Chain A
Amino acid sequence: MSSSDTPPSLYAAREPVFPRRVSGFFRSLKWWIMAFTLGIYYLTPWIRWDRGPEMPDQAVLVDLASRRFFFFWIEIWPHEFYFVAGLLIMAGLGLFLFTSALGRVWCGYACPQTVWTDLFILVERWIEGDRNARVRLWNAKWSLHKARLRITKWIVWALIGLATGGAWVFYFTDAPTLLVNLVQGTAHPIAYSTMFILTATTFFFGGIAREQVCIYACPWPRIQAAMMDEDTITIGYRDWRGEPRGKLRKGETGPAQGDCIDCMACVNVCPMGIDIRNGQQMECITCGLCIDACDDMMAKIGKPRGLVDYLALKDEVDERAHRKHAPIMKHIFRPRTILYTALWSVIGFALVFALFIRPEIDMTVAPVRNPTYIVQSDGTVRNVYDVRLRNKQGEPRPFGLSLNIGTNLSIHVEGVDGTLVIVPADEMKQVRVYVDAPKGSPESTTDRSPFTFWVTDLNNQDRASVGTIFNGRTN
């Protein structure tokens, strides 16, 4: 048993992190990815896509009211939700693949938490200055100057948050109409409340909570360890090259001193506020900014780059033994990543295949089993079926229902003289269909007789069929 004498504090205050500006390859890469991902997020709802006069012309639209998902030329109905499920599985497997190959590359470059935090830090730097100025401002007493900078920053953050929440609601209804309604104050309260909540969460997560979300709130950092092994590329510090570290003084560089000059550049730029020289740790999102910072410093003191670098655990063993470590591709292509890629591709191909063989006519037949059959006064035995016809096109379509040939059964539709059903554009229509077996026919006295419903689009003669069962009278 060991416990401290004084009871420990119940809480730990956040230690503020003031990441310094850095430039380099990975920083540029992050800027480009930020511009690309934010561009997709903010601009997608504004892309138009012509689907005909009765259909929405927004390229990407989650139409909750009429239960449709539009994605450019693809339209997903609720019964095709497996496409969405498949995409989610692909997203999961893709995450596994990238994590096992490149470590927390999602966290470092593409996670919305990282991207928005990066954007918020950028704003902070524009308004309050770089690291040293921000530390000074943090420690300064409240003054008019501090208040002006803080309030300006908060306003810009809130505007970014507002744009984030605004873009979100545009995905759910026609964006230009909604924008006009939002400005006029006539939009649905749910649009306003959603925007308010997303503005508040963006402000809080990007401006205040930042790295704490990754450390305390997100489950993903803890799960990722299960996907990483000694071939996974993570960020490492070559301590066999850098240690013993020490300040660089002219003419005092002893032969025993390592390359690390303890300039703290890698620590100062870290958005997670950690020291990468302590080794790989839970907080590290492998964003690569410390590599940029260290490479910059190594260039200035005339040492080779890569004291802090993307490394696999295996590389450390090789380098310590003065062997050449395996090329990065050797790390990436290994059974585990190949398996993830294969699974990912199989699901992807299956989804694309399913998308292409989707029928233009969609019919489902539900036999009414309450009761299983009805006897008419002339001895005819009747079965009833609920038939759903889906019209996935942008104009009304006339459908004719019929049965397979070679059967004694006859068919008619409730409320209609014949078997013609007109289904409005982009809608599902359910009709009750009566199928009669004349008295004395085999179907009328057989327990189960299979037969087939055919539906024909009378405009273009497209056909589809569904098999079902006729229940005769056996007593």
Chain B
Amino acid sequence: MSKKPEKKEVGTTGHSWDGIEELNNPLPRWWVWIFYITIVWGIWYTIAYPAWPLLKGATEGYLGYSTRAEVAADIAAVDAKNADLVGRLEAADLNALSGDAELYQFAINGGRAVFAANCSQCHGSGAAGAKGYPNLLDNDWLWGGMIEDIAFTVTNGIRNEHSPDARWTEMPAFGELLSKEEIAAVVEHVRAISGQEADAALAAAGETVYLDNCAACHGDVGEGLRDMGAPTLNDAIWLYGGDVATLTETVTNARFGVMPAWSDAYHPAGGLSAAEINAVAAYVHQLGGGE
């Protein structure tokens, strides 16, 4: 193969490795022009758009463009698009919500976001709850699991000072009312009716204590009472724990679980709107335990 003769001798860059020299071939004209144009473009860009950092912030740019303003405009556009659905959700009959497929889907999707932002801190991102914070996935409800019950609980909360309608009951601390022996007996009785291992003799003795002190709220056989928010004791679900130590502490000192009132009627700055409350109620209701 013969070498292509150079029409014009090309100089070298002076770099030479093992006798191989680097030719200094010029660039094509269009390439060089594009290179110059990009430089001009770069200068124009820093004038037109926010670019140069200053001590506080940066130059604003001749075009006044701002990503923050663009996001705000996008959010406003989405809000405008959803305004009709939000209005319908605010006025919706919650028991009939699942009949309106479009609105129901909108409520669940929105409720998922509301839950993640406001509820998951206590109830968990998967709504499985924690000790003292009810699991929302199961079929056990302290104050009712209908979608309207859930919406009421979210609106007014539990045992708080903000909403006059907050669900409010208080278990007495039986440490001041019962002797240690009586408490030990009633704990065994509660373990027996909930199907756990229990000392039969103590449990039998505890039944009298239970009927005298606990049955008014928790029911004769431990079936609980929703009007009082009194947990069912004869099932497999425990809010604080069903072992002897936890039960003893619960009976001795009582429990006082508090949930904020989420309605923006009580928290004008950070509360939830009626539509948001309906949405999160619909979301929680369809997690598997709703009634």
Contacts and interface: CB of A to CB of B under 8 A. Distances in A.
Interface of A: 1-4, 8-14, 209, 212, 216, 239, 274-275, 278-281, 368, 370-371, 374-379, 382, 384, 414-415, 432, 434, 439
Contacts of A11: 26-29, 31-32
B236 A8 contact: no
Contact of A415 (B12, B98, B237): B98
A377 B137 contact: no
B95 interface: no
A376 B236 contact: yes
A13 B28 CA distance: 6
B169 to A, nearest CB: 20
B16 interface: yes
Contact of B140 (A4, A377, A382): A377
Given A3-B13, A377-B232, A8 B26 contact: yes
A14 B16 CA distance: 28
B2 interface: yes
Given A3-B13, A11-B26, A13-B29, A376 B2 contact: no
Contacts of B235: 377-379
Interface of B: 1-5, 9-14, 16, 21, 24-32, 98, 124-126, 128, 135, 137-140, 195, 232, 235-237, 286, 288
A434 B139 contact: no
Contacts of B195: 379
Closest 9 CB pairs of A and B: A4-B11, A370-B126, A377-B235, A371-B128, A279-B1, A379-B236, A11-B32, A12-B26, A377-B140
Give chain A's interface secondary structure class: loop
B199 to A, nearest CB: 21
A344 to B, nearest CB: 30
A3 B30 contact: no
A212 B28 CA distance: 9
Contacts of A382: 137-138, 288
A439 B10 CA distance: 89
Contacts of B21: 2
Contacts of B140: 376-377
Nearest to B135: A374
A12 B4 contact: no
A434 to B, nearest CB: 6
B28 A374 contact: no
Given A10-B27, A11-B31, A374 B286 contact: no
Contacts of A414: 286, 288
B2 A278 contact: yes
Given A239-B2, A414-B288, A12 B126 contact: no
Given A8-B11, A377-B139, A379-B195, 9 more contacts: A1-B14, A11-B26, A12-B27, A212-B28, A275-B4, A368-B126, A378-B236, A379-B236, A414-B288
Given A370-B128, A376-B138, A280 B29 contact: no
Contact of A14 (B9, B30, B232, B236): B30
15 contacts: A2-B12, A4-B12, A8-B26, A10-B26, A10-B32, A12-B26, A275-B4, A278-B3, A278-B4, A376-B139, A377-B140, A377-B237, A379-B195, A415-B286, A439-B236
